[in-house]
Every structure is written in structure tokens, then in C-alpha cells.
Amino acid sequence: MKPVSQLIGRPAIFGEVLWDIFPDGTSVMGGAPFNVAWNLQGFGLKPLFISRIGEDALGERIYNIMDEWNMDLTGLQSDKTYPSGQVHIQLDSKGIPKYDILSQQAYDFIGEEALNLLQEDTFSLIYHGSLIERSHESSSTLNVLFQQTHLPGFVDINLREPWWDPSTIEKDLQRARWVKLNDEELFTILKSSKVPSSNIKSLANQLASLYHLELLFVTLGAEGAILVTGQETIRINPVPPKQLIDTVGAGDAFTSVVLLGLTNGWPVNRLLERAISFASSVCEIQGATTQDSTFYSSYIDQWNKDDAK
């Protein structure tokens, strides 16, 4: 199959970094944009992560852990007023997470000084989720970055109640080149009731056509994912995880490999297969990320071997 156009430059990842607090008191750094940036660093892409943390103990831990992972810290702003982000997570009997996302967190106040960083290097795209636009300050900064840099956008739709509104999602879809969302979010955006799975492809094509998207990714949980390219619609089923721990960060893992594939110009079917495979592996660990570098290098080594065939 035809590869996507290879991108030039580093990805800029804009949005929240926070602590996922689990029922047993375990805390894991998270936030969809942070998870994506972390994974991309593990894959060797050296992203610029743009966010904001509080001048508190949690913020210091974020800074130090990112530093240990050799991430670029120049996009990490510091806030004297608002705390570093937290989300309280409850898991149901199937390991599916429910999120209590606290308000008025430091990442809600990302400042426009981030623009200077994007003008100092070559960047390929701006990735962001929809949650970061719940606040006027961070949403305004994101608008400035797009307006001033003219970089293409990858938007990860996350409809977390009560932190979204239709007008913001409409704006995101209109300016995005690439979009990722799940099946429930697809139904919600198109104001459709749940329909048989055989019709999901039709809905995905409808959304991609409506907003002239280059690529649209629809994740289906345990059922895999759909990719709409404009020329074709591909559906791939996943390989179940060997041992399910939780599904936290699975969608972010999927997106990370999508961005890696866009950067490297992989054929779209290979990109989708690898994104699903990596997302399944993340379900075998607690939380969304790991500091085990071999978790990433093993995939890179295998993918490089496959590409050389």
C-alpha cells in the first residue's frame, strides 16, 4: 500500500501533564499529550512537549522524571499559583478506567511564550487533545501556535464530561489534518445513536469527508481500529494482550505509533497494525507509560527488521 508522506522535523506535543492516582494510592504520570510525548521519546523522536506544572512537589517529580527520560524540558512552564495536575482513577471489573479530572490545574494556563520555541527549530506538526481546550488560557495559546506557525494539526478527541463543548470540537476538526477518536466519540460528534458495528465504517467515512481529513483513526477497544484515508477504509482486529492489567493509556499508545509512522512515512496498513499492537502491549502494564527503555527498543528493532525485508 502507498505510504503516507514522510514528515520533516520534530513533533510538538501540546497539552496536559498530570498524575493518575489509582485506587490503591499508586500514582503514575499521565495525561494524553504527556503519554504521547513520553512514548515518542522512547521511540527516539525527541518531541517538544509544551505544558505547565505547579511549583510543588508533584511538579518537581514531573521535571525530574522527564529529565531522567532525557526529554526536552524547554517547553515545560512553571506556575506559582496553580498546582500540578491530578486525575483520580477508578477501575471497573474489566479494568476499564473512569476519570475524575480536577479543575484549575497548572496545565490550564499554558502561556504564549511557547511560540518562541516553535520558531527556533524545525517542527513537523502540532499534536493536541481536546481536553486542554477546556480553559481559555491554554486554548488561546494553542490557537496562537497554529496561527503563527501554520503547522499541520493532529487532534486526539477526548470527550471527558464536563470538559468539552461542540463548538470547540468543530473548530478542532476544521483545522486538523489528522484525527483520532473512539467509536463512542464518533457517534456523539455525528449525533448518532449506537448502530451495528457494520455501519461504523460508514460513519467514519462521513466524518472524514465532512472535514476533509487526510487520515481518520477510529479506535474500537477490543475490536481493533478503523482507518479512513480518503481512498480506502481499513479495519484491523487486535491481538489480545497476554495479561490484561488495565487499559489506561492504550489510546495514547496507539496515537504515539501513528505519529511515529507519519514521521517515518510507513504504509498506512503497516502503521495501523503497529499502532494496534503497541496499544495492546500497554494494556499489560499498570498505567500508560513505563521507564523500561527495552519496552520501546524491542518494537523498534522488530519493526526495522520487518522494514528491511
Residue numbers of the domain that contains 112: 10-308
The amino acid sitting at 114 is: A
For residue 1, tell me if it sits in a domain: no
> Residue 309: its pLDDT value, please?
75
Query: If pLDDT is split at 50, 70 and 90, which confidence band does 89 have?
Result: confident
> Residue 284: its pLDDT value, please?
62
Query: If pLDDT is split at 50, 70 and 90, which confidence band does 290 have?
Result: confident
pLDDT 10s digits, 111-153 = 999 999 999 999 999 999 999 999 999 999 999 999 999 999 9
For residue 151, tell me if it sits in a domain: yes
> Residue 8: its pLDDT value, please?
87
Rounded distance, CA 272 to CA 224, Å? 10
pLDDT over threshold 90, residue 18: yes
Strands 18-21 and 27-30: antiparallel
Rounded distance, CA 110 to CA 129, Å? 14
pLDDT over threshold 80, residue 245: no
For residue 238, tell me if it sits in a domain: yes
Rounded distance, CA 167 to CA 185, Å? 15
For residue 4, tell me if it sits in a domain: no
Q: Which residue has the cell 472524514?
A: 208
For residue 295, tell me if it sits in a domain: yes
Which are the contacts of 247, defined by CB distance < 8 A and separation ≥ 6?
A: 95, 96, 97, 221, 283
Rounded distance, CA 79 to CA 110, Å? 9
Give the number of domains in the chain. Answer: 1
- Answer for the pair 99, 160: CB distance below 8 angstroms, yes or no: yes
pLDDT over threshold 90, residue 36: yes
When the pLDDT of each residue in the chain is averaged and rounded to a whole number, the result is: 90
For residue 2, tell me if it sits in a domain: no
More confident residue, 286 or 187: 187
> Residue 239: its pLDDT value, please?
73
Query: What is the mean pLDDT of the segment spanning 284-307?
Result: 84
Give the DSSP letter string of 107-124: GGG--TTHHHHHTSS-EE
- What size, in residues, is the chain? 309
For residue 232, tell me if it sits in a domain: yes
pTM above 0.95, yes or no: no
Mapped onto helix, strand or coil, the DSSP state of residue 238 is coil
The CATH number that applies at residue 177 is 3.40.1190.20
> Residue 299: its pLDDT value, please?
92
For residue 3, tell me if it sits in a domain: no
